[in-house]
Chains A and B, each alone.
Chain A
Amino acid sequence: MTTVRASISARIALMDKQIVDRDRLPIGRVDDAELQLPDDGGPPYITALRIGAQALGERLGGSVGGTMAAAAARLRTDPSPAGLDVSLVEHLEPMVAVRARLADLPQIAPLERWLAQRIQRAPGAGDAPQ
């Protein structure tokens, strides 16, 4: 943050970072990112961030990652891991901040919503998430 670099390290400044929405509510982690290789032979560029246990499981690989990805995939209706278009990213430091609100990103954290609907029926649980 002290010096503005023309480039950043994907390993430190992007991967595994916490993502928050416009109201600083946690959305998830940068579990992976989607790259696009342009046809004209130029360098690849990031099109979307991948968020959630499915993306993380696929990245980790092996039996543990496979199990995690399969379990997460069963909780989702969409077959591919949840993504977040990179154009929504506001800045990366100190956390990845997104211009949208979590409530407007239906593909993120469906389990959270499902659980929240059940928990809010319990006494003293506070307001609904939306």
Chain B
Amino acid sequence: MSRVFAFTLGTLSAIGGFIDIGDLVADAQVGARFGLRLGWVTLVSVVGISCFAEMAGRIAVKTQRPAFELARSRLGARFGLFGLVGSLAVTALLVMAELSGIALALQLATDIHYLLWVPLAALLVLIVFWTLPFEAMERIYGLLGLTMLVFVLAVWALEPDWSTLLRSAATPSPTGPESWATYLFFVVALIGAQMTPYEMFFFSTGAVESRWRPKDLAELRVNVLVGFPLGGLLALAIQAVAFIVFFQAGVQVEHISQTALPVAVGLGKVGLIVAIVGIFAATFGATLETLFATGYDVAQYFGWSYGKVQEPARAARFTAVTVGLLLAATALALTTLDPITVTIVAVVFSASLLPFLFLPVLLVANDRDVMGELANGPLANVLGTAVIAITILISLAAFPLLVLTRGGIA
């Protein structure tokens, strides 16, 4: 019985964990500007992240170590360092954006300026980080994040013309006044927002810390194959409600308040309250997970002890890195830099780092000396190669598109 319970929890937290500040911003922006014309990107993201999360989980099950531990020996010390420094910079931006997301949710509930909430949010994150065990943390915020499903309900409540939605989803090209460059820019942004490496990390460390064995593989696969597609559905719902409420009116999404607004239109006050709780939980959970993922990245590159498995004093350098990163992100948020702009820049750079994170996982999953009978089969390899090819293209196009479209404005 308890196994079934734990398994459901894992799937549910995968759904809640799929959405973070990047999705809240990028999905709503895309929905308002392009309708569902970028819906196929969510499909690609879900396939990509499922494929690599499954691989990472399988490596963890086989070796009893997180997948990234073997990354440095495959990428080499030099490339590994490059990837590490890049992901540290991107994470600092992302944590700043997620922290601001927590503060913006609190602002919506209280009408008190978000900058006043930022230090409080950081303190709250620090307390939770310091005291709660990893699994409990993950579960609580994953489950609270399920309140985001209110966006799916809102699609029905808004009584859309379904044929318009379908037609939009079946048209993979920019709407009239938009350029192809802008369209492609948002492809990059959506990929960066939806294929977040910490989702892969979540499965890898989750598998190690719950001491999964090869016989638990089926459970892991169900978590991946149910959790992520449902998370993708949530992302599509955010795009759809923004399309229905904003597209005709010509509204450009520039605030989290606008992401939540269609829910109020469709489901009224209660819906809005649930959505605000969801935004709070999703950004809070993502802040913790991004911090952890980065702490683990640094610790594993240098081979330090790490993790919530050990108390803070037993993983002193890991704790110092994560707390330092949190402080830096808080300081960045307090500079009044626009969190929405930062989010878009962060997801675009995050997208450009994806090949560095995916390639070592694919390589290790193919190493028969390490993986034995759990090595990749043809399906995982074909999908994995295709996803990496796409992320390499994205990585090359990200910076030029960011400049050319002035961050999606032009």
Contacts and interface: CB of A to CB of B under 8 A. Distances in A.
A33 B314 CA distance: 27
A80 B314 CA distance: 26
B131 interface: yes
Interface in B311-351: 311-314, 316-317, 319-320
A60 B304 contact: no
A76 interface: no
Contacts of A126: 310-314
- The size class of the interface chain A forms with chain B is 35 or more
- The size class of the interface chain B forms with chain A is 20 to 34
Interface in B91-149: 130-131
B133 to A, nearest CB: 12
Nearest to B320: A115
Which 7 pairs show the lowest CB-CB distances between chains A and B?
Answer: A126-B311, A29-B303, A115-B316, A120-B313, A116-B316, A16-B73, A28-B303
Contact of A129 (B63, B313, B370): B313
A28 B78 contact: no
10 contacts: A2-B369, A2-B372, A17-B73, A19-B303, A26-B305, A28-B303, A29-B302, A60-B78, A113-B316, A126-B311
A119 interface: yes
Contacts of B69: 18
Interface in A66-88: none
Contact of B304 (A109, A114, A122): A109
B311 A127 contact: yes
Contacts of A95: 65
B85 to A, nearest CB: 9
A111 B316 CA distance: 9
Given A116-B314, A119-B319, A126-B312, A26 B77 contact: no
A2 B370 CA distance: 9
A112 B305 contact: yes
Contacts of A114: 316
A127 B73 contact: no
A64 B132 CA distance: 37
B83 to A, nearest CB: 14
A12 interface: yes
A126 B320 CA distance: 15
Given A12-B73, A94-B63, 20 more contacts: A15-B73, A16-B77, A16-B80, A18-B65, A26-B299, A28-B303, A28-B304, A29-B301, A60-B78, A109-B317, A111-B317, A112-B316, A115-B316, A115-B317, A115-B319, A116-B314, A122-B130, A124-B312, A127-B313, A129-B314
B313 A119 contact: yes
A23 B313 CA distance: 17
B369 A124 contact: no
Contacts of B314: 116, 126-127, 129
Contacts of B221: none
Contacts of B369: 1-2
A53 B301 CA distance: 10
B363 to A, nearest CB: 11
A26 B306 contact: yes
Contact of A59 (B77, B311, B317): B77
Interface string B28-68: 00000000000000000000000000000000000111000
Given A2-B368, A115-B316, A115-B320, A60 B72 contact: no
Contacts of A29: 72, 301-303
B212 to A, nearest CB: 16
A60 B303 CA distance: 17
B81 interface: yes
Contacts of B302: 28-29, 53, 56
